[in-house]
């Protein structure tokens, strides 16, 4: 079996790349170890930068997004029990859109199936071969247990932080950068109308909290907790009480409660792998980088990677001679320049809003001073807004 681009992983990065390539007449095969149901129900990020929305519309999967996505022109920063609105639209001319990652995946899977091009779920034993040659191959067992060999021109590694693609880059070539944070998020999905029309980021003496949403009837909320937090000690009543405490305001903000549909603990870390290309293997999304979720950048970074890789592959197949590889050759450097700026922003917002065990009174007062400066200085507010709505793709 042969294809032009073998795509490992059916997350937002892999599926979006497949759809964009299809629209340009470039064949691909998508291989995914999980089931279709699993990837469509896996709750992840939910804030889309305006450029991510534009790319999804370009890919032909923006109709439901535009109907059901929640357009937000600002976010709220809460500290000292006072809300401070950051007017993203007024500061930058751009909003963000709340639309769950699982909804993006559903739209992209539907588009893939409608295209008639191949997507294989529940594959096993995926291995990459000859990635540093002009004829790489992917071996795997399909859902029936039959061994398959997929020959291709390029491999797109979109299989996440624990996938098989990144380890295929030799340790003598790959360098990793990582920061592990001493806290985590206890996240819940609740069947209750969001208590705010916009996201609320709260810095509280008991720890960070976030009020977010996935729809007009579904709320997504988070509490800073320990990395090894025991969920059995967190009853629904305790979770709601702690959220109310950390999101309380001087004017009596009230958090409506409702049935909790899901709960879990999310670790916090920053990670970057360099380079993002080795031979004919190109990493994209979580296979190459992880950001703490505070800045809402994980899915957006994956979309940005795919935009650059898609344009490079189109340039390759449309061109001739040595120049056709020009954009592929600069793929890693182009992506990493933006990735590190996003890493900086995500680290900054995380450190500004969370409490650490080794913080003393000086650290607490410095943190509050930084939040005061952020919410009163036009220059600081603009810096935050520019990063939050999305930096230029290149």
Q: Which of 50, 99, 181, 201 is the catalytic position?
A: 201
From 136, 293, 327, 331, the catalytic residue? 293
Catalytic residue among 12, 22, 72, 194: 72
293 flagged as catalytic: yes
Query: 201 catalytic, yes or no?
Result: yes
Annotation marks residue 317 as catalytic: no
As beta bridge partners, residue 96 has 72
Task: Determine the distance from the C-alpha atom of residue 371 to the mean position of all C-alpha atoms in its chain, rounded to a whole number.
Answer: 25
The half-sphere exposure of 309 on its side-chain side, counting CA atoms within 13 A, is: 32
Q: Are 126 and 165 in contact (CB under 8 A)?
A: no
CA angle (77 as vertex; 74, 78 as ends), nearest 5: 140
The closest alpha carbon to 40, from 83, 91, 132, 103, belongs to: 103
Catalytic residue flag (residue 72): yes
**Active-site choice (278, 297, 327, 354):** 297
Q: Please give the Cα distance from 292 to 171 (Å, whole number).
A: 25
Catalytic residues: 72, 201, 293, 297, 388
């Amino acid at each position: 079996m042969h294809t032009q681009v073998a795509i490992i992983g059916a997350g937002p990065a892999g599926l979006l790349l497949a759809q964009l390539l299809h629209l340009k007449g470039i064949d691909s095969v998508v291989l995914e170890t999980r089931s279709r149901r699993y990837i469509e129900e896996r709750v992840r990020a939910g804030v889309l930068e305006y450029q991510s929305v534009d790319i999804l519309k370009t890919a032909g999967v923006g109709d439901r997004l535009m109907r059901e996505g929640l357009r937000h022109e600002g976010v709220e920063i809460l500290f000292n029990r006072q809300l401070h609105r950051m007017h993203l639209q007024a500061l930058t001319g751009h909003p963000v859109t709340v639309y769950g990652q699982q909804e993006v995946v559903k739209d992209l899977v539907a588009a893939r199936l409608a295209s008639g091009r191949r997507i294989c779920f529940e594959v096993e034993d995926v291995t990459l071969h000859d990635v540093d040659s002009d004829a790489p191959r992917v071996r795997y067992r399909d859902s029936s247990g039959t061994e398959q060999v997929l020959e291709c021109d390029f491999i797109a590694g979109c299989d996440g932080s624990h996938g098989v693609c990144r380890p295929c880059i030799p340790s003598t070539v790959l360098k990793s950068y990582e920061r592990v944070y001493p806290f985590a998020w206890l996240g819940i999905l609740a069947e209750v109308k969001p208590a705010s029309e916009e996201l609320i980021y709260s810095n509280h003496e008991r720890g960070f909290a976030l009020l977010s949403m996935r729809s007009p009837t579904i709320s997504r909320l988070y509490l800073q907790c320990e990395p090894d937090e025991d969920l059995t000690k967190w009853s629904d009543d305790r979770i709601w009480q702690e959220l109310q405490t950390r999101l309380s305001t001087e004017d009596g903000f009230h958090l409506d409660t409702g049935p909790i549909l899901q709960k879990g603990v999310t670790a916090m870390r920053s990670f970057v792998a360099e380079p993002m290309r080795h031979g004919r293997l190109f990493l994209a999304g979580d296979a190459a980088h992880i950001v703490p979720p505070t800045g809402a950048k994980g899915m957006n970074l994956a979309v940005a990677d795919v935009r650059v890789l898609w344009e490079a592959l189109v340039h390759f197949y449309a061109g001739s001679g040595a120049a056709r590889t020009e954009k592929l050759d600069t793929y890693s450097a182009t992506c990493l320049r933006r990735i590190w700026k996003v890493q900086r922003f995500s680290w900054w917002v995380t450190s500004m809003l969370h409490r650490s065990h080794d913080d003393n009174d000086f650290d607490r007062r410095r943190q509050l001073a930084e939040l005061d400066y952020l919410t009163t200085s036009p220059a600081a507010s603009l810096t935050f807004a520019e990063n939050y709505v999305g930096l230029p793709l290149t």
